[in-house]
Amino acid sequence: MNSLWAVTLATMVKDIRLEWRSKDALNSMLFFSLLVVVIFMFSFDPLAEESRHIVGGLVWVGFLFASVTALNQTWARELRNQVLDAYRVSPAPDNALFLAKALGNFIFVSVLEALMTPLFVIFYNVQVLGPAWQLLPIAILGTWALVVNGTFFAAMSLRTRSREIMLPLLLFPISIPAVVSMVAGTTAILTGEESAHFYIVLLLTYDVVFTTACLALFGMILHAE
């Protein structure tokens, strides 16, 4: 157990340090989601009352698309110089690598959300009518839901041709229940018309189910030869 966390921490710190120096993933995500915000703003141009109903969908669709650009780069780094093959033959636990990558992506996407959410609030003139603190669990659970499956499917699409396009094709159908609960939960809080508890519980279930599945199957994906 100790070695699992030690390897996880070491790999994660390495990834964050690399990202801090290059800022590849974060910059591309930020600019991408900025473009999404601006394009959505031109396409919809909503009133304040309408925007409360649609902004939940816009925010999460923007984050979903932006996080795919980061997730695609997750494993590409490890392919250079056969790092992944070296990892495969090392005695380090497989799940440590997966957890490190997933946690690293979680941090990157959270930073993106923290920076982009104010922009959404300004551009769409959003005022929250429901209990605003509930947006926090939805954001945390929703981000983890996207990132845990995204990291897994990114590892999966490494083994395919044209892997950049494979990731969204695999990730989006599986993510539909998570996206539905994130969007519906956010809309419920913004409009204050209904309770978001159901969606928070559903997101939690989704996270537990798929984190377990990812951890159970990652070793097979990593060693599939």
Partner 1 sequence: MKRLFPILSILTAVLLAYALYEALVVAPTDAQQGDVYRIIYYHVPSAWTAFLLFFINFIASIQYLASAKPSTKTAAKWIVIAIGVVGVIACFLPQVQHLLPKGMRPSAVATTVLAIPAFYFLIGKFFPGERLDMLALTSAEVGVVFCTIVLVTGPIWARPVWGIWWAPGDIRLTSTLVLWLIYVSYLVLRRFSNSAQTQMLAAALAVFGALDVPLVYFSIWFFRTQHPQPVIGGGGSMDPRMLQVLLISWMAFLCFAFLVCWSRFRLEVLRREIEEAHAMESLVGTGEAPSKASLPLSRSSR
The contact set with partner 1 (CB under 8 A) reads: 149, 156, 159-162, 166, 169-170, 172-174, 176-178, 180-181, 184, 198, 202, 205-206, 209-210, 213, 217, 220-221, 224-225
Residue number, 102 or 112, with CB nearest to partner 1: 102
Q: What are the backbone angles phi and psi of residue 99, rounded to the nearest 5°?
A: -60, -40
Task: Give yes or no for a contact between 78 and 87, defined as CB atoms under 8 angstroms apart.
Answer: yes
Q: Tell the smallest beta-carbon distance from residue 212 to partner 1 (Å).
A: 9
Give CA–CA dist 84/120, Å, rounded: 38
Q: Tell the smallest beta-carbon distance from residue 166 to partner 1 (Å).
A: 6
Residue number, 39 or 213, with CB nearest to partner 1: 213
Side-chain half-sphere of 156: how many Cα atoms within 13 Å?
17
Indicate the length of the chain as a whole number: 225
Residue number, 58 or 202, with CB nearest to partner 1: 202
Q: Tell the smallest beta-carbon distance from residue 18 to partner 1 (Å).
A: 27
Q: Tell the smallest beta-carbon distance from residue 83 to partner 1 (Å).
A: 18
Nearest to 109 by CA among 142, 78, 158: 142
CA distances from residue 7 to 51, 97, 102, 206 in whole angstroms, order as listed = 45, 7, 13, 26
- Tell the residue number behind the tokens 């910059």, with chain if given: 27
Q: Tell the smallest beta-carbon distance from residue 224 to partner 1 (Å).
A: 4
Q: Tell the smallest beta-carbon distance from residue 108 to partner 1 (Å).
A: 23
Residue number, 24 or 194, with CB nearest to partner 1: 194
Residue number, 147 or 156, with CB nearest to partner 1: 156
Nearest to 141 by CA among 60, 214, 69: 60
CA distances from residue 59 to 37, 53, 103, 154, 182 in whole angstroms, order as listed = 8, 11, 21, 23, 10
Residue number, 124 or 210, with CB nearest to partner 1: 210
Q: Tell the smallest beta-carbon distance from residue 100 to partner 1 (Å).
A: 20
Residue number, 12 or 178, with CB nearest to partner 1: 178
Give CA–CA dist 126/118, Å, rounded: 10
